[in-house]
Amino acid sequence: MNTEPAGALAAVVLAAGLGTRMRSRTPKVLHPICGRPMLAYVLDAADAATGARPLVVVSPATTGIREAFAERADFATQAEPRGTADALAAALEVLPGEVREIIVLSGDVPLVDPALMVELAAARRDSGAALALISVDMAEPAELGRVVRDADGRISRIVEFRDATPHERAIAEINSGLYAFDVAWLRGRIAAVQPSPKTAELYLPELVPLARADERAVATLEVEDDGTLLGINDRAQLADAELEMRLRINEAHMRAGVTMLDPASTFIDASVEIAEEVTIEPAVILRGSTRIGRDATIRSGSQVFDTTVGEGSVVWASILEGSVIEADVTIGPFSHVRKGSLIASGAELGNYAEVKNSRIGRGTKSHHFSYLGDADVGEHVNIGAGTITANFDGTRKHRTLIGDRAFIGSDTILRAPVSVGEGAYTGAASLVTHDVPPGETVLGVPARIRDKRTDAGASRAEDDPQR
């Protein structure tokens, strides 16, 4: 998007403030919006606008930002919280010498459009201005800085609300806090910024009268008040930004071929990937690294976290976490697939089926009130209602192995470690404490292999008319 020569244009992101109005130990810009820290969206905009690695200004109170974004940005440190001009001065100390122009963004404005920042830089460049800023005419400007213009309509200064007179507070045009600067001019003048007489802080808007004093132009890009340039200062504003971002995400998915029956009740993280022809019913939450395959249906009440759902699968009123669901699987209602599980193609999990750290084979069915934890279940196995793999001995977890085409009777308890061979059966209410050979049937508490000779004798006796 940037048309400047490589290295000529860079972005500086101000993120040194802790954000006390958030009432949080977490730095403000690390609070999540649709699954990502709000700063991530600002860095996206900076990348898109400049094509260069952004420079983020942090403080000792926000060192967690360095750890979170070490791979995405370079950093400067503002040693003390002395205002935005002081923060920008800290950035200039480490800014590469070949950078001739910078855009300055605030780390708490996640909805900013990168195209707008490109337009701002172009406006400054085309007018030869020392700096350019974005202003917004607001019906309710609240406590934002006011743009003061002279009789010729040129911007003469920006006054912070706390420093403004009643007449100045009546001005509707506000400063958004987004700027573009001629770096050579900025380096020569930023030290001349004087502290506010009320707060003793050094404000970036004080560069406006300095530019005028140097007979340099100050360009203004005026935009409509759509709420996207407002900074986030508290959790109510964080919720507003989350709503706007969620609407953007949902709209993008729908335009890409996803059907949402009620977008207003659908919560999808920015990191989620959804293929075409997917249907999402109301009250669905998709989080993290979730991937939904083509023709899948996510029915009402489902929550999917960091899970892949294969093509044609159906999930209904269930919770899936950190797992892989292959194609044509049906899950729910009220199933729970926990971290580390794989549900193979054609398998079915029904009412109140829980699976944890297990592999469920192709075509296997577990329809009612079961718990399969730390289990490897083969293909086309029937898991009867009430089946439990007793995987924990109080100290360690143990695995259960169930072979292909096995039949696990209702209310069976499989005390791990234990295996059930291919084609084997367990009778209803059996407690299986030893391995079951392939093709055998076990019954009882504890379960024992059925004596086929005794069964045959009993059968003949029942058929004898003399008895």
> Which residues are designated catalytic?
368
Instruction: Give the H or E element holding residue 241.
Output: helix 235-255
CA distances 5 to 8, 18, 53, 349, Å, are 6, 35, 14, 58
CA distance 270 to 35: 6
Distance, CA of 211 to chain centre: 42
CA distance 262 to 267: 10
Can you say whether the dihedral through the CA atoms of 159, 163, 168, 173 is positive or negative? Answer: positive
CA distance 311 to 327: 5
CA distance 411 to 390: 12
CA distance 427 to 147: 81
Q: HEC string of 307-367?
A: CEECCCCEECCCEEECCEECCCCEECCCCEECCCCEECCCCEEEECCEEECCEECCCCEEE
Q: Are 400 and 383 in contact (CB under 8 A)?
A: no
Residue 272, class by beta-carbon neighbours within 10 Å (0-12 exposed, 13-18 middle, 19+ buried)? buried
Q: In what order do the strands lie in the sheet with 303-305?
A: 266-268, 284-287, 303-305, 319-321, 336-337, 354-356, 371-373, 388-390, 413-415, 431-432
